[in-house]
Amino acid sequence: MFSSTKFNFIIPIISVILGLVAGAIIMLIFGYNPVLGYQALWNGVFDSPFFMSETVNRITPYILTGLAIAFAFRTGLFNIGAEGQVLVGWVAAVWVGTAIDAPAFIHLPLALLAAAAAGAFWAFIPGILKAKLGVHEVIVSIMMNYIALHITNYLIRSVLTDNQETTEPVKQTASLTNDFLIGLTGSRLHLGFIVALLMVLIMWVILERTKLGYELKAVGYNQHASNYAGMKVERNIVISMLISGLFAGLAGAMQGLGSFGNAFTNTAFSNLGFDGIAVALLGGNNPFGVVLSASLFGFLKVGSLNMSTAGVPNEIIEIVIALIILFVASGFIIRWALLQLKKGEKK
């Protein structure tokens, strides 16, 4: 019989396979060659060090937004406001990165800290409203996304610049870029992936090796039982949202201090926060699973840009991603099918 742990491992793998197979069928239906399409997808990532490095850059913020959503899920919350937390973290990091003169060993950590604090503060608002007034965090956090979009645009135009759409580049002392990596790959590869992997370990330690993590998960499972056991439910709800927002804010810093090196106005969302929901679901809300699912998303997003060379529209990959998430969300069907197969083997 399959254990719960095995199911949690097998279902995402089967979901990915089913998503890719369904994508191939869709290509065939519309007259495209799936073999050439997926070959172009593969070459779009592994054909050169440049594209491999760009894939790592794409993976890095996905890891952090995936952690943000996964941490909230693991503690009984749904932080759909990660998108706004990414934006405020991005602008906060660039603000510190452009406004302060300091040695690199002070400037870069300070800019990262500013991004984390901004993201945590943006998550604190729905957290405190949930804890004190019982307002559902989904309602508040999704509205906070739009507030963040317009406030950050205002700050860029009126505070960080003189009515410009793009800020100055962050100072080198606050940048995550590295001359050696740039010279080696010719890409925008930066040191942010180290920060992301460090956050993976921190999340795992908090949830699996600390009293705080135990309490946060307990409150997520059952607030009434946790309160009866003497845990501070309201405090733990707020702490969960703060930590979740911290991860999302750092995802913004990866963009502002690394991939782009500046901040700019947006007419729409970056979708890093929303994609983080899919990353967390596919990763089973496990920090190490998030790394794998973020890697898959980065691979698909970057590789799809090369599919046009095979005459296949890259929008096909968006369909594949959607189908993968659909299969993950319908995991009970896969679970039932596996159990039926197991019963058939016994007969």
Query: Tens of pLDDT along 1-23?
Result: 555 667 777 888 899 999 999 99
> pTM value?
0.94
What is the C-alpha separation between 29 and 31, in angstroms, rounded?
A: 6
What is the C-alpha separation between 130 and 111, in angstroms, rounded?
A: 29
Contact in structure between 234 and 132 (CB atoms under 8 Å): yes
Mean pLDDT, rounded, of the chain: 93
Per-residue confidence (pLDDT) for residue 347, from 0 to 100? 55
Q: What sign results for the dihedral spanned by CA atoms 180, 303, 94, 199? A: negative
Residues 6+ positions from 49 with CB-CB distance below 8 Å: 184, 185, 186, 187
Per-residue confidence (pLDDT) for residue 3, from 0 to 100? 59
Per-residue confidence (pLDDT) for residue 2, from 0 to 100? 55
Residues, the chain: 347
- Residue ranges in the chain whose pLDDT is less than 50: none
Query: Tens of pLDDT along 259-313?
Result: 999 999 999 999 999 999 999 999 999 999 999 999 999 999 999 999 999 999 9
What does each C-alpha distance from 240 to 116, 166, 267 come to in angstroms? 14, 33, 30
AA identity, residue 268: A
